[in-house]
């Protein structure tokens, strides 16, 4: 090869290597630098120079995610933050720059510096660094810690020598949308080990103790508190076990005990399936602001309420002739083991259907049939039967509702069509519509839903449209009207809401077919009886008569909306610490933060007799009764029953006690109500000082 040709080849190779180096570096300003051969990393501009800065630099990168978003670690520990850059399809983007900034206590220890080129990541100082998302998967090991970085991800390691909250800001300049190119992650540093309660599952209508623990050297947990707050979910109440501050039914503050535990009870007043998200904050006294607290750490947990469910199945012929007897079978089964007694099964017969007999014998109350079924072990099925006879044609809904003595319920229904002619056995499973000479459409509309629910719950109704013609119907319009106590949430099949009315334009209905649409509403206010109504309007198809058709009266689904009583209790002592020979009083505040009257409220207390002597108990009515229980080694205090407590009303009870022996004691309180399945419990700690340790002595 000639020397000139060799030079051309060499220059081409060098240019190719330089171009490749610029591409691999991920640095827009890198080219045309040559291969670095070990030069230090370059702190380059985040976007390309020139007019291109004002363009959308990377139309593919559109979203930045950082994990974890909220976490806690001990002081002098470390935390790895992993950033991922995504495109619009959710695919991670490689070699995209991420800048890391730290605000508050803490410093950047290390960032992702993978690669051999100057455009790779680097730590600029303790508060700022940048890195690039990786091309390949890497396993990073630092001592005992190990984590995996996948393509499209990069990382940053942060530590702190003092307590406090650190904000880690991740910024991706390739994302042009300023609302999506920054993420703020929170890091809480704690002197010691802090363990938040894990998500749990509890029985609906019961209670559960949430416990946050902290372990510290030296002064342990003096002055530290933990605040719990219900963020969302079904109705529930928080109560501090040590009688700490309760701001509302959804928020409670408790102190850490000598064992490093900060506990609160969460109670569900009415059994309701669902999940409560609980926000948790650990706070400590602020030395610069007496009486104020600073947040040490934050977290979140979940309590999922589940309860045994009663499955009610109603089986009946789909069609029956007027005047013909039909057997309806009601089957009851529990999906889980029930810790309850008998179950009441209630079947409602619509107007137009008569009851002939029942098996076994049932109680009859007008159009309602009531069976009391014994407790069934292991969820075993139980069945009862009713023989009915329709006396006028129409489409009927046969419904049943079951309820146990501890509030577990269930419901079921079936639709039955009564014809004016004879229905043969072969027609019974799938009847064929009869030829109708009438010019009116032969349509039927029924609405089905639960017969009872609680305030704050969403309810879904099924609206069934049936066409009994031999030909398709004309255009169908269905209208549903919600009562004042229920607000609109959603509707299927394109239903549109206007005020309290929801309208569906369903087009035509095929011959002999049925269609089900749904309506969901939110129950806002308690009411003994209300109803959701539905009507249907249809244009005749291929007939001379163009007058729209609609039934004489609307179909309705009756429902009871029960209020929810929700008691909360807080306890506070007047003097703590209290010297021997002096007295302190415990004020017990009971509030009904629910939407229904709480009934038969009983407040009791246990005062340790070895350290305290209960001397007086006063309440809103008569004085409380004090007696000594030598087996439990305590004075028991019982206040007279309070018949009712209205929503948002509160009561105050006071127990006075004299300090006898130095030491730490806990006085226990309990509130029971006929409206709630589980009692509320609280404890108030008190320190008793000897005479030689009185804080007032000089």
Given this model, what pLDDT does residue 270 score?
Answer: 73
pLDDT band, very low/low/confident/very high, at 546 (cuts 50, 70, 90): low
Buried b (16+ CB within 10 A) or exposed e, 471-500: bbbbebbbbbebbebbebeebeeebebeee
Q: Which of 138, 296, 120 is nearest to 216 (CA)?
A: 296
The average pLDDT across 37-57 equals 54
Sign of CA dihedral 510, 512, 513, 519: positive
Which of 162-166, 377-381, 438-442, 664-668 shows the lowest mean pLDDT across its residues?
A: 438-442
Q: Give me the chain's average pLDDT, please.
A: 79
Q: Provide DSSP, 4-39.
A: HHHHHHHHHHHHHHHHHHHHHH--TT-TT----SSP
Question: By the 8 A CB rule, do 564 and 249 touch?
Answer: no
Distance CA 382, CA 404 (A): 14
Given this model, what pLDDT does residue 695 score?
Answer: 45
Given this model, what pLDDT does residue 83 score?
Answer: 94
Given this model, what pLDDT does residue 626 score?
Answer: 92
Distance CA 561, CA 579 (A): 53
Given this model, what pLDDT does residue 15 score?
Answer: 57
Q: How far is CA 377 from CA 339, 342, 381, in A?
A: 9, 11, 9
Question: By the 8 A CB rule, do 397 and 415 touch?
Answer: yes
Sign of CA dihedral 435, 438, 440, 443: negative
Q: Which of 271, 272, 281, 269 is nearest to 210 (CA)?
A: 281
Given this model, what pLDDT does residue 571 score?
Answer: 86
pLDDT band, very low/low/confident/very high, at 422 (cuts 50, 70, 90): low
Farthest-apart Cα atoms in the chain, separation: 117
- pLDDT single digits (tens) 495-516: 999 888 999 988 776 666 778 8
Output 270 or 46, whichever has higher pLDDT. Answer: 270
Q: Which two tokens stand for residue 360?
A: 């076994």
Terminal Cα-to-Cα distance of the chain (whole angstroms):
106
192: Cβ contacts below 8 Å, ≥ 6 apart: 74, 75, 214, 215, 216, 217
Q: Which of 131, 137, 123, 136 is nearest to 174 (CA)?
A: 131
Given this model, what pLDDT does residue 146 score?
Answer: 83
pLDDT at 26 over 80: no
pTM of the model: 0.44
Pairing of strands 663-672, 598-608: antiparallel
pLDDT at 583 over 60: yes
Distance CA 578, CA 561 (A): 49
Given this model, what pLDDT does residue 697 score?
Answer: 42
Pairing of strands 680-689, 578-579: parallel
Distance CA 482, CA 646 (A): 28
The average pLDDT across 344-355 equals 88
DSSP class of residue 186 equals E
Percent of the chain with pLDDT over 90: 19
Q: What are phi and psi of 16, to 5 degrees?
A: -65, -45
Sign of CA dihedral 74, 77, 81, 82: negative
Distance CA 449, CA 456 (A): 17
Distance CA 194, CA 176 (A): 39
Distance CA 678, CA 268 (A): 8
Q: Which residues pair with 514 in a beta bridge?
A: 466
606 cis-preceded (ω within 30 degrees of 0): no
Q: How far is CA 246 from CA 322, 368, 424, in A?
A: 63, 45, 68
Q: Which of 412, 430, 422 is nearest to 315 (CA)?
A: 412
Question: By the 8 A CB rule, do 598 and 644 touch?
Answer: yes
Q: Which of 656, 469, 461 is nearest to 555 (CA)?
A: 461
Distance CA 683, CA 666 (A): 6
pLDDT at 457 over 70: yes
Output 303 or 234, whichever has higher pLDDT. Answer: 303
Which of 116-125, 536-545, 566-575 shows the lowest mean pLDDT across its residues?
A: 536-545
Given this model, what pLDDT does residue 636 score?
Answer: 93
Residue owning tokens 């609405």? 447
The average pLDDT across 230-237 equals 85
pLDDT band, very low/low/confident/very high, at 5 (cuts 50, 70, 90): low
Which of 2-11, 111-120, 549-558, 600-609 shows the lowest mean pLDDT across its residues?
A: 2-11
pLDDT band, very low/low/confident/very high, at 638 (cuts 50, 70, 90): very high
Q: Which of 70, 301, 311 is nearest to 201 (CA)?
A: 301
459 cis-preceded (ω within 30 degrees of 0): no
Distance CA 629, CA 614 (A): 12
Distance CA 115, CA 596 (A): 66
């Amino acid at each position: 090869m000639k020397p000139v040709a060799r030079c051309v080849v060499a220059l081409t190779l060098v240019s190719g290597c330089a171009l490749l180096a610029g591409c691999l570096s991920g640095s827009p300003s890198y080219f045309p630098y040559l291969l670095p051969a070990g030069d230090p990393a370059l702190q380059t501009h985040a976007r390309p120079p020139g007019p291109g800065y004002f363009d959308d630099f990377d139309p593919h990168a559109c979203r930045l995610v950082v994990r974890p978003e909220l976490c806690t670690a001990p002081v002098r520990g470390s935390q790895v933050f992993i950033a991922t850059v995504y495109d619009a399809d959710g695919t991670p983007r490689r070699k995209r720059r991420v800048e890391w900034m730290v605000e508050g206590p803490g410093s950047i220890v290390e960032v992702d510096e993978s690669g051999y080129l100057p455009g790779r990541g680097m730590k600029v100082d303790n508060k700022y660094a940048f890195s690039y998302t990786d091309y390949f998967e890497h396993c990073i090991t630092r001592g005992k810690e190990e984590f995996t970085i996948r393509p499209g991800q990069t990382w940053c390691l942060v530590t702190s020598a003092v307590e406090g909250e650190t904000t880690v800001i991740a910024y991706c300049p390739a994302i042009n949308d300023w609302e999506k190119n920054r993420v703020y992650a929170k890091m809480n540093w704690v002197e010691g080990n802090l363990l938040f309660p894990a998500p749990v599952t509890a029985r609906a209508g019961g209670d559960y103790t949430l416990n946050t623990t902290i372990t510290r050297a030296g002064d342990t947990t003096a002055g530290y508190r933990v605040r719990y707050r219900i963020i969302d979910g079904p109705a529930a109440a928080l109560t501090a076990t040590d009688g700490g501050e309760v701001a509302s039914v959804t928020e409670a503050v408790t102190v850490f005990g000598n064992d490093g535990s900060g506990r609160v009870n969460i109670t569900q007043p009415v059994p309701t399936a669902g999940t409560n998200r609980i926000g948790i904050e650990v706070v400590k006294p602020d030395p610069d602001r007496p009486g104020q607290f600073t947040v040490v750490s934050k977290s979140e947990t979940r309590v999922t309420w589940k309860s045994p469910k009663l499955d009610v199945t109603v089986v009946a012929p789909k069609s029956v002739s007027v005047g013909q007897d039909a057997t309806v079978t009601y089957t009851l089964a529990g999906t889980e083991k029930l810790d309850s007694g008998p179950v009441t099964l209630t079947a409602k017969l619509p107007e137009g259907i008569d009851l002939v007999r029942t098996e076994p014998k049932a109680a009859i109350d007008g159009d309602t049939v009531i069976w009391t079924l014994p407790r069934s072990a292991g969820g075993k099925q139980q069945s009862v039967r009713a023989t009915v006879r329709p006396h006028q044609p129409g489409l009927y809904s046969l419904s049943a509702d079951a309820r146990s003595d501890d509030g577990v319920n269930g419901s079921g229904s079936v639709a039955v069509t009564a014809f004016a002619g004879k229905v043969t056995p072969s027609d019974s499973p799938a009847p064929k519509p009869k030829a109708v000479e009438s010019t009116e459409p032969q349509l039927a509309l029924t609405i089905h839903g639960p017969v009872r629910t609680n305030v704050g719950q969403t309810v879904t109704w099924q609206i069934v449209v049936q066409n009994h013609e031999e030909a398709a119907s004309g255009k169908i319009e269905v209208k549903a009207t919600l009562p004042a106590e229920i607000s609109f949430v959603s509707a299927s099949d394109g239903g549109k809401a206007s005020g309290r009315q929801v309208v569906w334009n369903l087009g035509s209905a095929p011959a002999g077919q049925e269609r089900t649409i749904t309506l969901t509403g939110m129950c806002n206010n308690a009411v003994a009886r209300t109803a959701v109504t539905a009507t249907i309007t249809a244009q005749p198809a291929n007939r001379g008569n163009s007058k729209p058709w609609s039934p004489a009266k609307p179909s309705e689904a009756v429902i009871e909306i029960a209020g929810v009583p929700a008691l909360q209790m807080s306890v506070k002592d007047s003097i703590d610490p209290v010297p021997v020979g002096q007295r302190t009083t415990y004020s017990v505040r009971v509030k009904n933060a629910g939407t229904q009257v709480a009934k038969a409220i009983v407040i009791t207390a246990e005062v340790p007799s070895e350290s305290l002597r209960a001397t007086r108990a006063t309440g809103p009515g008569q004085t409380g009764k004090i007696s000594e229980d030598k087996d439990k080694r305590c004075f028991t205090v019982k206040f007279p029953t309070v018949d009712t407590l209205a929503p948002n009303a509160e009561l105050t009870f006071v127990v006075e006690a004299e300090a006898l022996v130095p030491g730490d004691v806990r006085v226990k309180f309990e509130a029971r109500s006929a409206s709630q399945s589980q009692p509320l419990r609280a404890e108030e700690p008190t320190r008793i000082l000897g005479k030689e340790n009185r804080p007032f002595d000089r």
